[in-house]
Amino acid sequence: MKVAQLRGGPIAVLLGGSSAERDVSLQSGRTVIDALQALGHEVRPVDPAEPGWIAQLAGIDTAFIALHGPGGEDGSMQGALQALGIAYTGSGVLGSALAMDKLRSKQLWQGIGLSTGGFVQLAPDSDWQQVIDRFGKVFVKPALEGSSIGMGSAADAAALQLAYREASRYGSTVLAEQFIDGPEYTVAILGDQVLPAIRLETDNEFYDYQAKYLSDDTRYLCPCGLTAAEEKEMGELALRAFRSLGCAVWGRVDIMRDGAGRFYVLEVNTIPGMTSHSLVPMAAAAAGLDIHSLVQRILEHSLEGER
């Protein structure tokens, strides 16, 4: 189904929601609404945090999901729309659920031999010193959040326990991930196309929420500084990680590179941000796609593809 065939009815843009990423989702949704309207579509904004939101989907055939985090990016909204017979953008139920779960993503990648850093699931009674002895410095993160929410680092047992307590505020499943000392990259995927990679540079300890959405000092390098062969290698790793989780249509894969030149997959985002600071629109622009073309391609791939 082509975008031109959608003009018979409104497209619902799902935005906001009740996750910790609500504010970012509202910004992403606004970007998508503006782009769809510029493309000539009638748009109906729908916020699942509002009472009666399902009734607002009456007469809707297609939904553009601009929700981030639990409730929007984890397969539950995808399943609800599927049950309602509404076509939607992005990955299906399985791909969304797996990619949202950082622990199970890494377990799967480890199982198929895909390059990802060492990790361990934490618990209230974890042996904090044993984790530090095994990995050295670690990043600690809730398994079911995005945008670096609840994320911290630790280089000793006391700091690890504190970081676990902070991360566990955002869910009971928390992991400690091997610290990789090197540059961070992100690779956007659109259909079967790997878009130009972006290198992320921040003066913060890592690419946290403040660096992602608030800071004007974060540096985005595209071209990313790798050779053509290195960027191809990284792109192939990103696409393999994306597909291994059952993801489809569009997304973003975060990757780090150590001092020896090895790439490691960190995580996959199935509904990346579409804000003024967001990375997929930057990568698309580097490939010659403005925001309107990007939104149109997402719609086309979603409605034509198998999930």
Of 146, 246, 267, 297, which is the active-site residue?
267
User: What is d(CA 105, CA 96) in angstroms, rounded to the nearest whole number?
Assistant: 11
Of 170, 185, 209, 213, which is the active-site residue?
213
User: What is d(CA 194, CA 235) in angstroms, rounded to the nearest whole number?
Assistant: 6
Look at residues 150, 147, 188 and name the one whose alpha carbon lies nearest to residue 281: 188
| Region for residue 40 given its phi and psi (left: phi exceeds 0; alpha: psi -120 to 50; beta: otherwise) | left
DSSP 8-state assignment for residue 170: G
Helix axes 76-84, 93-100, angle to 10 degrees: 170
Strands 198-201 and 174-178: unpaired
The structure tokens 């031109």 sit at 4
Q: Is-catalytic flag, 258?
A: no
Of 16, 17, 19, 21, which is the active-site residue?
21
The residue type of 110 is Q
Q: Is-catalytic flag, 21?
A: yes
Helix axes 279-286, 291-304, angle to 10 degrees: 100
Q: Is-catalytic flag, 254?
A: yes
Of 273, 278, 297, 302, which is the active-site residue?
273
Q: In what order do the strands lie in the sheet with 11-14?
A: 43-46, 11-14, 62-65, 87-88
Q: Is-catalytic flag, 269?
A: yes
Of 147, 153, 244, 302, which is the active-site residue?
147
Q: Is-catalytic flag, 104?
A: no
Q: Is-catalytic flag, 133?
A: no
Of 254, 278, 297, 302, which is the active-site residue?
254
User: What is d(CA 69, CA 48) in angstroms, rounded to the nearest whole number?
Assistant: 13
User: What is d(CA 230, CA 216) in angstroms, rounded to the nearest whole number?
Assistant: 28
Of 29, 231, 252, 278, which is the active-site residue?
252
Dump strand ranges (E) for 97-171.
119-122, 138-142, 152-154
Residues with Cβ < 8 Å from 83, sequence gap 6 or more?
none
Of 153, 269, 278, 302, which is the active-site residue?
269
3-state secondary structure of 264: strand
Active site residues: 21, 147, 213, 252, 254, 267, 269, 273
